[in-house]
Structure 1
């Protein structure tokens, strides 16, 4: 209950917060569907813009639920209202750039205003209220761009919304600074362990929705040896991405947050990392659909970018976090990204099934390596390593 008198109390993630996250994870399938239907550079840019909008609202609301204490009735009501708005917004993802831009933007703008203004009024300390006034100022900069894009013609909508998304994402990454008015996170009492658990569960849910998207592709494909092998191969890849973090990696994050002097900073970095993490899982899901649909067909640039680019985004985000926090457990991840980049180039000339098996080889090797690396890091970490 950060900033409250009972700030020393560490509470578990509430069922409402987990329920709330499920609505956001629904967006994984929606974003993958949009990218698969619009498989072009423009379609990728549209998907990225909507992904940023989705994750920015998740980040803002999740921090609010922690700072304002989700166990309080008015905070629970806020979370439920945002949840309903997000459900409607995510449902419009396939139509946002076609015939229903307002159906996507109106709930998004309502969330930004509701979350920011509410937090600025309800925050338990003057320091936190000042911070949320800065957050509101950043929203005041992005909201006109979202609204102008909704009113603009289809050809120019992407430019307006890309500018709005850039403002929102930059605000989350930099903690919404203003000139001579910057958040001093060391001065805030923050339930960092609670947010670490939120991030952990959110990653699991994202991986779970990716599995469901891949399962849908398997269901739509014919049942033959090549399709079954491709489907199992992609499943192995997702399992490896899960294991690359959860076989000791999450313990490093928890240990670092528990021992560092500024508990909010590493959590902010972890939240910022959700943007490329989710983008990577969406790309992998679409690449998996292409591979499962035509496992013995011809390779393509699109397949190479999606099937290998998705894991690169996911893994390189982890490498960045481990480097900026512990200065350990990042080298093997970068080598795996390099291997994926080389394999992605080769995938243009390889059958999709072969590309899937190469991806599995890279990721299985990475997991086996990281299992040893994580164990070594955990045995050597001390409070001074993390400060």
Structure 2
């Protein structure tokens, strides 16, 4: 392909809104996140949480790299549409294999992950011959080829060996992006080619967090369907839905609404976009833990408390608030006091409530989130207008 034809693949500078193709692609991740919650629920232990984290990082990286592709290239082009749908199919295969990824489904999960990344960059490297972006895809192809070795080697081992090799593999994937894919004879990816389009990125991150909340609602509804409207399960369902609403409200308050303006105002858009990616990853992890907590609360509302149950019921809001505080800092260069107090209270409640029934712990978690939401409302009345001021911005 000539450079002129390749330029025709690029997304226009004024076309920053997410397309229907991207929204369609996101549907696969509702299922993937639900599968992650199921995998964690099946093994509520520190080792189980570690394995779930590795799987979440892999799922997130498929979504993030595809969002990057649809920022650079025009999703209306048939070739990009076919590529995106192919990645979606691969993500669905990963999701199906996900609960058994550390068992019999390991090779399917790893092979799908590797094929998504290597196949995508191989396709683009061929399609972009003669264009400067070809070097970017070659860098990706090199580094995903490197990480493919521990991914596939881990799939062929068992137990701790798989966990260690896959942790190494996902660390390679994230580190390569962090250091802009330094590649022999090709160099690093120019900062200008990293994700940085304010409106598109902001919309995509908001959409993915809404997907995480959608998964929470889905899990909550399916759990109630399984248990029926019991005397204490129904109030637990109401608490879970209320918690979901609070997560949504706290997320969109100010920083969520002003994200695109913050990216536009940042002196280093690519760096801020990377920070926002990580903060959303933490918030999505918090929503996932909250989904597990909702399942526990509805299915076992008044059973004797267990430490693992208290950790997921309060750990979900802790992760969300930690990610949300970091997100707020990337937009305003400061964190509101109410958010920090809520985070500290949620952490302190974990050891204090380990023996209480899940329903009561869930109510406590919702109360903490309600307190943060009320603090946000009070701040909004006191400061009705706040302009984004990301770290390093002038003024």
Question: Is TM-score (shorter-chain normalized) higher than 0.5?
Answer: yes
Deviation at 1:127, TM superposition (A): 5.7
Matches within 5 A, 1:70-89: 70-89=75-94
- Pick the aligned partner of 2:285 from 271, 279, 289: 279
Cα distance in 1 for partners of 2:75, 2:98 equals 28
Q: Which moved more, 1:272-281 or 1:129-138?
A: 129-138
Cα distance in 1 for partners of 2:231, 2:342 equals 28
Cα distance in 2 for partners of 1:263, 1:241 equals 27
Q: Contact conserved, 1:257 with 1:266, CA < 8 A, in 2?
A: yes
The secondary structure found in structure 2 opposite 1:225 is coil
Cα distance in 1 for partners of 2:226, 2:91 equals 29
Matches within 5 A, 1:300-315: 300-315=306-321
Cα distance in 2 for partners of 1:336, 1:225 equals 30
- Pick the aligned partner of 1:238 from 244, 247, 251: 244
1:368 paired residue number: 374
2:174 paired residue number: 169
Q: Contact conserved, 1:7 with 1:189, CA < 8 A, in 2?
A: no
2:350 paired residue number: 344
CA shift in 2, pair 1:18/1:187, >3 Å? closer
TM normalised by structure 1 equals 0.90
**Equivalent residue pairs, number:** 387
Whether 2:101 is the aligned partner of 1:96: answer: yes
Matches within 5 A, 1:260-271: 260-271=266-277
Cα distance in 2 for partners of 1:28, 1:351 equals 26
2:3 paired residue number: none
1:203 paired residue number: 209
Whether 2:121 is the aligned partner of 1:116: answer: yes
1:153 paired residue number: 158
Cα distance in 1 for partners of 2:36, 2:92 equals 14
Alpha-carbon displacement from aligned partner over 1:78-131 (angstroms, at most 9, x marks no partner): 101111111111111112222122211111111110223334455699664433
Whether 2:259 is the aligned partner of 1:253: answer: yes
Q: Contact conserved, 1:64 with 1:115, CA < 8 A, in 2?
A: no
Deviation at 1:225, TM superposition (A): 3.2
CA shift in 2, pair 1:370/1:178, >3 Å? farther
Q: Which moved more, 1:181-190 or 1:324-333?
A: 181-190
CA shift in 2, pair 1:321/1:173, >3 Å? farther
> Any unmatched runs of 5+ in structure 2?
1-5
Cα distance in 1 for partners of 2:257, 2:320 equals 18
Cα distance in 1 for partners of 2:28, 2:91 equals 7
Cα distance in 1 for partners of 2:31, 2:229 equals 27
Cα distance in 2 for partners of 1:166, 1:323 equals 25
Structure 1 stretches of 4+ with a deviation exceeding 6 A read 1-6, 375-378, 382-385
TM normalised by structure 2 equals 0.89
Q: Which moved more, 1:115-124 or 1:237-246?
A: 115-124
Q: Contact conserved, 1:67 with 1:123, CA < 8 A, in 2?
A: no
- Pick the aligned partner of 1:353 from 341, 359, 362: 359
Q: Contact conserved, 1:3 with 1:67, CA < 8 A, in 2?
A: no
Q: Contact conserved, 2:258 with 2:388, CA < 8 A, in 1?
A: no
Q: CA RMSD in A?
A: 2.8
Cα distance in 2 for partners of 1:285, 1:170 equals 29
Cα distance in 2 for partners of 1:315, 1:178 equals 37
Cα distance in 2 for partners of 1:189, 1:86 equals 21
1:138 paired residue number: 143
Alpha-carbon displacement from aligned partner over 1:112-155 (angstroms, at most 9, x marks no partner): 10223334455699664433333333212211000101111344
Deviation at 1:383, TM superposition (A): 7.0
